[in-house]
Amino acid sequence: MVQQLKEVDVVVIGVGMVGSILAKELAAAGYKVVGLERGNTRFTVPEFQSPGIHDELRFDVRKALMQDNTREPVTFRNTSSQTGLPIRRWESFLPGTGLGGSMVHWNGQTYRFQANDFELATRTRERYGQGFLDPDITIQDWGVTYDELEPHYDRFEYLLGTSGKAGNLKGQIQPGGDPHESPRSREYPTPPQKEHYSGALFRKAANSLGYHPFPQPSSNLSQPYTNPEGLKMNTCVFCGFCERYACEHYAKSTPQTFILPVLLANPNFELRTGCQVQRINLDSTKQRATDVTYIDNAGREFEQPASLVITCLFAINNIRMLLLSGIGKPYDPATGKGVVGRNYAYQTMSTVASFFDEDVIVNPFMASGASGTLINDFAGDNFDHSGLGFIGGAFIGAVNTNGRPIQYHPTPPGTPAWGKGWKNAVVKHYNHTIMFSLHGSSVSQRQNYADLDPTYKDAWSQPLLRITFDFPKNDLKMAEYVTARGVEIGKAMGAKQVAGTPRKAPYTTQQYQTTHNTGGTVMGNDPSTSVVNRYLQSWDVPNVFVIGASAYPQNASWNPTGTLGALTYWVADALKNEYLKNPGRLVSP
Amino acid sequence: MNYVLFLLLGAGVAAAATPPPEAAACQACHGAHGEGMVGGDKPRLAGQSAHYLDKQLQDFASGARDNAIMSAIARSLNNQTRSKLAAYYAALPVPAALAVPTSLEHTTATAAQAGRGHQLAIEGAEGKRVQACNNCHGPEGSGVALSAPALAGQLAAYLAAQLKSFQQGSRKNDAGSLMRSVASQLDEADITAVASYYASIPSSH
């Protein structure tokens, strides 16, 4: 029997980064908010404490913090002509679950996108002409500009206490920062983390080549910080267990450290965990959401009515929630019509490994998730693409995030894959190798999309999401180009051997790349090519907002979290100042 | 029995290492075998990491750690002698017999205090945003050679005094202000509890 619950003002689906920030804003503004989280409640103490949290087998190999793909996997195929199969073991990307969401296991790399990224289609046409792009590419403008988001980026960084060095303060280039960044209104809240030795060598080499190295913006804090919510965070100790783990020190910015204690203390907010939302229900006009159906851990089914429904799930789960709810027209790659699932994109990751003699001692285990040194000289549109045959780029950096024993053992090409030769090579190179991350952009194209799988279902008998994706030619060319630049830097560092590995097709789900899945519920100004308007409000069902990296029309050269934080505050303002005072469409279609 | 053990271990120390002549200045307060001033707040040095002891001597000498007596002594030593003393005390075994008086201090703590101390050590306190001490100080406070000193078997009065110094900001030679951050979240009862807890653990050295 379905239990009907009492109506509330707002239901937030997913209590991760976006959900906890929005819920806090709306609860503080006096609205009754219910947060539905499918996973468990968890806090720094006791759940994230040592030594249990440093269990590499449990967290790194077996992915203990991730979405349970025995109950709720995703199916995948490279092309529409193939049959999608469920991903039964997460590797390529790692969607989290539980209170605090995927941010609990993030690395803390906290970038802004550049002004150019938000108007990518327009600016690419302007700079390189009409016929520059492959006709399959479906990049588009975001419908929001950098200048509009700047105050929200700022607010988000001050919430997190991000450690970094400004490169452009109100148009004035700052020594030591990234000169390519778009103007920021003030300095980072805390100074950069200490530079790793690998970063120092990278900095020297990059300078010698005329590039502009800068410290990676990190939300693993360089010093104690009290954020505007009154919550105090600690200094990161470089323990080397960031990505895939939770932080035991209150030093990595996650909802647990920067907002949840304030949210949970507000009587206007109610957290319900163990709630698997099945769908958002619509009235007979299909233009208004009435309630949300969820099943709790005891198998009981509930309907929670609300005036406003905000879906704040991990990108791919936002897409699925809309498809399961019949909100927005599903995308059809054959016709190019429809919007939900369209413009699914990712991140094009390449690597360069520089192998040194034994007198260069790197100590890779001593790391935070974001204490690298990098350049943006080959990111985005920071270099001339004329004649190159691609758009986009990558940041290139010595981003040493860990040296954990089970998973980190760099060896040069030609090393045996197992046995004594491999073991000897691991011993020889472990402490004398510098790895670069080449963090590349990802264009959207018409063949890449997400829809509901026709065959496979989850533990609640709901169709799984199916991803159809392969790397666009544009991005493979970009990967070749930036990897060659990375190899040059490795050589300039004086490495004995430098191995560049540009990303190649086909895309595989069996190798870790990044958890930067984007698109599928894209934002924009044209309802025929976007799911939500510039305030992330559904064009079709205006009392539904969809917030996540699923809103990105394509992915830029940087980690997506900073931009998602900015969008979250952008939407919070639109909700508080406009929508909730006068519910309705914030933009006319 | 304890007396016999003490003698045997004392003999072992003498055989293992002859104190450097400069150790005479240490022994007055820290004991003949680096056991500390039981019942006072002069810490046990025996078995502490050499890196930690060396850094403390440097910090006393530079003024980064403030203590009138220790600063004067540390300043009278050169770098080489500081390192030699640090290595000497690090190599000294903790006389097992001396674990008895320290554990006696624990008996002055109530059961509730002992439980609270244990909880802070292994788990922390979410309400205060304090992480487990053992995250950095190692299992049972056994210390992590290059980064965090051993706490196990340390004198409770010394531990409590140091937490208060960090809390008041009079001690500030902690990397990243980590100890100042933690101590600022603790109250008097927490400090007594956690200091007593570590004092009650026999050193694993």
Which DSSP string corresponds to A117-138?
Answer: HHTHHHHHHHHH-GGGS-TTB-
- Contact at CB, B123 and A223, closer than 8 angstroms: no
Cα–Cα distance measured from residue A246 to residue A236, given in angstroms and rounded to the nearest whole number: 13
Specify the pLDDT at position B12: 39
Q: Evaluate whether residue A587 is within a structural domain.
A: no
Which is nearest to B45 in space by CA: B108, B96, B109, B88? Answer: B88
| Backbone φ and ψ of B37, nearest 5° | -95, 100
SS3 A523: strand
Report if pTM > 0.90. yes
- Contact at CB, B178 and A235, closer than 8 angstroms: yes
Measured between beta carbons, the chain A residues lying within 8 angstroms of B175 are 235, 237
Q: Evaluate whether residue A248 is within a structural domain.
A: yes
Measured between beta carbons, the chain A residues lying within 8 angstroms of B123 are 45-46, 49
Please tell me which of the candidates A49, A235, A248 has its beta carbon nearest to residue B177. Answer: A235
Which is nearest to A398 in space by CA: A348, A439, A444, A453? Answer: A439
Specify the pLDDT at position A291: 98
Q: Give percent of chain A with pLDDT exceeding 70.
A: 100
Cα–Cα distance measured from residue A209 to residue A201, given in angstroms and rounded to the nearest whole number: 13
Which is nearest to A105 in space by CA: A270, A303, A226, A241? Answer: A241
Q: Evaluate whether residue A586 is within a structural domain.
A: no
Q: Evaluate whether residue A363 is within a structural domain.
A: yes
A475, A442 Cβ separation under 8 angstroms:
yes
* Alpha-carbon separation of residue A127 from A41, A147, B185 (angstroms): 49, 20, 55
- Contact at CB, B135 and A49, closer than 8 angstroms: yes
- Contact at CB, B126 and A45, closer than 8 angstroms: yes
Cα–Cα distance measured from residue B28 to residue A574, given in angstroms and rounded to the nearest whole number: 70
**Domains held by chain A: number:** 1
CATH number of the domain at A388, please. 3.50.50.60
Minimal CA separation from A420 to chain B, in Å: 31
Specify the pLDDT at position A160: 98
A69, A86 Cβ separation under 8 angstroms:
yes
Measured between beta carbons, the chain B residues lying within 8 angstroms of A250 are 129, 131
Specify the pLDDT at position B93: 86
A313, A95 Cβ separation under 8 angstroms:
no
| Backbone φ and ψ of A293, nearest 5° | -100, 130
> Which of A236, A250, A253, A254 has the highest number of chain B CBs within 10 A, making it the mutation to test binding with B?
A250
* Alpha-carbon separation of residue A233 from A226, B182, B183 (angstroms): 6, 10, 13
3-state secondary structure labels for all residues of A29-58: CCCCEEEEECCCCCCCCCCCCCCHHHCHHH
Looking at residue A323, its amino acid is L
- Contact at CB, B136 and A44, closer than 8 angstroms: no
Which is nearest to A322 in space by CA: A303, A305, A337, A342? Answer: A342
- Contact at CB, A237 and B178, closer than 8 angstroms: yes
Measured between beta carbons, the chain B residues lying within 8 angstroms of A261 are 129
* Alpha-carbon separation of residue A175 from A3, A66, A165, A321 (angstroms): 61, 40, 9, 46
Please tell me which of the candidates B126, B139, B181 has its beta carbon nearest to residue A51. Answer: B139
> Which of A50, A194, A225, A257 has the highest number of chain B CBs within 10 A, making it the mutation to test binding with B?
A50
CB half-sphere exposure, B54, CA atoms < 13 A: 16
- Contact at CB, A224 and B180, closer than 8 angstroms: yes
Cα–Cα distance measured from residue B69 to residue B91, given in angstroms and rounded to the nearest whole number: 24
Predicted confidence (pLDDT) at residue A288 exceeds the cutoff of 70: yes
Using one digit for the tens of pLDDT, what is the confidence trace for A97-108? 999 999 999 999
Nearest Cα residue in chain A from B147: A237
Q: Identify the domain containing residue A424 by its residue range.
A: 3-579
Measured between beta carbons, the chain B residues lying within 8 angstroms of A43 are 126
- Contact at CB, B123 and A234, closer than 8 angstroms: no
DSSP A453: E
Cα–Cα distance measured from residue A274 to residue A98, given in angstroms and rounded to the nearest whole number: 9
Measured between beta carbons, the chain A residues lying within 8 angstroms of B116 are none
Minimal CA separation from A144 to chain B, in Å: 38
Report chain B's terminal Cα–Cα distance, integer Å: 21
Size of interface A-B (CB pairs under 8 A): 62
Residue A333 tokens read as 């790659």
Looking at residue A178, its amino acid is D
A488, A209 Cβ separation under 8 angstroms:
yes
Residue A428 tokens read as 């020889």
Specify the pLDDT at position B205: 47
Radius of gyration of chain B (CA): 17
Confidence of residue A569 (pLDDT cuts 50, 70, 90): very high
Cα–Cα distance measured from residue A249 to residue A52, given in angstroms and rounded to the nearest whole number: 14
Please tell me which of the candidates B125, B176, B180 has its beta carbon nearest to residue A45. Answer: B125
- Contact at CB, B176 and A237, closer than 8 angstroms: yes
Minimal CA separation from A249 to chain B, in Å: 6
Using one digit for the tens of pLDDT, what is the confidence trace for A352-411? 999 999 999 999 999 999 999 999 999 999 999 999 999 999 999 999 999 999 999 999
* Alpha-carbon separation of residue A290 from A285, B10, B117 (angstroms): 11, 80, 51
- Contact at CB, B181 and A236, closer than 8 angstroms: no
Measured between beta carbons, the chain B residues lying within 8 angstroms of A50 are 132, 134-135
Specify the pLDDT at position A261: 98
A336, A446 Cβ separation under 8 angstroms:
yes
Lowest mean per-residue pLDDT among A92-101, A256-265, A309-318, B61-70:
B61-70
> Cis bond leading into A213, ω under 30°?
no
Q: Evaluate whether residue A425 is within a structural domain.
A: yes
Looking at residue A104, its amino acid is V
| Backbone φ and ψ of A315, nearest 5° | -45, -55
Looking at residue A164, its amino acid is G
A340, A521 Cβ separation under 8 angstroms:
yes
User: What does the pLDDT average to over A114-129?
Assistant: 97
- Going residue by residue through chain B, which has 205 residues, state the pLDDT in tens, using 9 for 90 and above: 333 333 334 333 444 568 999 999 999 999 999 988 877 789 999 999 999 999 999 999 999 998 999 999 999 999 999 999 999 999 998 766 555 444 444 456 677 888 999 999 999 999 999 999 999 999 999 999 888 999 998 999 999 999 999 999 999 999 999 999 999 999 999 999 999 999 888 776 4
Which is nearest to A280 in space by CA: A313, A331, A323, A329? Answer: A323
Cα–Cα distance measured from residue A353 to residue A486, given in angstroms and rounded to the nearest whole number: 9
Residue A377 tokens read as 């000289």
Using one digit for the tens of pLDDT, what is the confidence trace for A417-446? 999 999 999 999 999 999 999 999 999 999
Q: Evaluate whether residue A377 is within a structural domain.
A: yes
Q: Evaluate whether residue A584 is within a structural domain.
A: no
Q: Residues of B near A (CB-CB distance < 8 A)?
A: 122-126, 129-132, 134-136, 139, 147, 175-178, 180-182, 185
Which is nearest to B70 in space by CA: B18, B29, B24? Answer: B29
- Contact at CB, A223 and B125, closer than 8 angstroms: no
Please tell me which of the candidates B123, B129, B180 has its beta carbon nearest to residue A250. Answer: B129
- Chain position carrying tokens 């790895």: A435
Cα–Cα distance measured from residue B49 to residue B151, given in angstroms and rounded to the nearest whole number: 11
Minimal CA separation from A311 to chain B, in Å: 29
Q: Evaluate whether residue A471 is within a structural domain.
A: yes
- In what helix (H) or strand (E) does residue A279 lie, and over which residues does it extend? strand A276-282
Residue of A152, A249, A439, A516 with catalytic role: A516
Is residue A212 annotated as part of the catalytic site, yes or no?
A: no
